[in-house]
Amino acid sequence: MFDSLPLCQCLKIKYPLILGGMAWIGKGALAAAVSNAGGLGTIGSGSMTLVELREEINRCQMSTTKPFAVNILMLDPAVEEKVSLLLELRVPVVIFGAGNPGAFLETFRRAGAVTMGVVSSENLALLLERAGVDFIIGEGCESGGHIGSVTTMVLIPALADLLRTPVIAAGGIADGRGIAAAFMLGAQGVQIGTRFIASVESDANETYKQMILKSGIRDTVVTGERLGHPVRVLKTSFSKKIKRMELDSSEEAERLLLGSYRKAYQNGNLHEGSFLAGQSAGLVHEVSTCQEIIDKMFTQATTILEYTNTHIIERRKNEQRGSI
């Protein structure tokens, strides 16, 4: 059902699913597990030094023969060095976040790599299309991490109308219903982050995973709105404190946020850590392997899409017979 979609055709993968690049969590082992399960695994390079990134790419390459991606943040001070490393190690897919990759695109195209850009606005999407990315990932504000202000439900159809480039939907998708809905909205695939934090292969600590399992759909907050960089995190006494503090002293809030993602990821520090996660944490109820997660999602999505298709065909037949 999915193999004729552009993402599957272009990368020769089974499912049109991308593991969202996740700073701190998206390491080589998780990326390889998603690629081996039929999706496209992504290494999140945002939190890595050059040496660490090289190690994680090597780890991924040793664990899978399937294509995988590296997510690079355009705001990363080491972006040029990371680009050179990806070219040297022949990374097959590069996903750019937080900006316009501009001239890097041509370099990767000449090297035969597939390029993608993450956007939360129509303006950036148009810029990336003109620059020539192969896929555009529209990320709604339900998602975990740095976010824009428009929901997936509205952003994806708007981008699908606007662009010729295939659109991938991200934000709030955690099961087959979300995947089926993304197709209905005009997407040609999905990018998922939060669901995979609670996977066996994710490097998140046990506290982080358990917090995802215990969260309801209202258990995230957006910190940093007043500081100009909104980030969706799990609701904790620390994130609530940051939100209150932003109103009075942005400098103090910035100071406390410094290093808080690392503290959440490395030791599950509830008092000083920011646990990045999307609203879909409320839809995650168990820790499973990437293979189990992906197989279950696509079995459910296939059932829904076939059911919908059958109903549409039945309805058309009835209309033609004049019984409706």
Chain positions contacting ligand FMN, by CB under 6 A: 20-23, 25, 44, 46, 71, 73, 97, 118, 139, 142-145, 170-173, 191-194, 276-278, 280
Q: How far is the CB of 84 from ligand FMN (least distance, A)?
A: 19
- Cβ distance to ligand FMN smaller for residue 4 or 258: 258
Q: How far is the CB of 284 from ligand FMN (least distance, A)?
A: 10
Tokens 């599950």 — which residue? 268
The CA-atom distances, in angstroms, between 130 and each of 84, 105, 106, 125 are: 23, 11, 12, 9
Cα separation, 85 vs 280, in Å, equals 33
- Cβ distance to ligand FMN smaller for residue 63 or 143: 143
Taking each helix axis from N to C end, the angle separating 237-248 and 250-257, rounded to the nearest 10 degrees, works out to: 150
Report yes or no: 42 and 18 within 8 Å, Cβ to Cβ. yes
Token pair recorded at residue 147:
């976010």
Tokens 């690049």 — which residue? 21
- Cβ distance to ligand FMN smaller for residue 44 or 244: 44
Q: How far is the CB of 323 from ligand FMN (least distance, A)?
A: 42
Q: How far is the CB of 297 from ligand FMN (least distance, A)?
A: 12
- Cβ distance to ligand FMN smaller for residue 38 or 46: 46
Closest CB to ligand FMN: residue number? 193
Length of the chain: 324
Report yes or no: 208 and 284 within 8 Å, Cβ to Cβ. no
- Cβ distance to ligand FMN smaller for residue 36 or 220: 220
Q: How far is the CB of 232 from ligand FMN (least distance, A)?
A: 8
Cα separation, 173 vs 193, in Å, equals 9
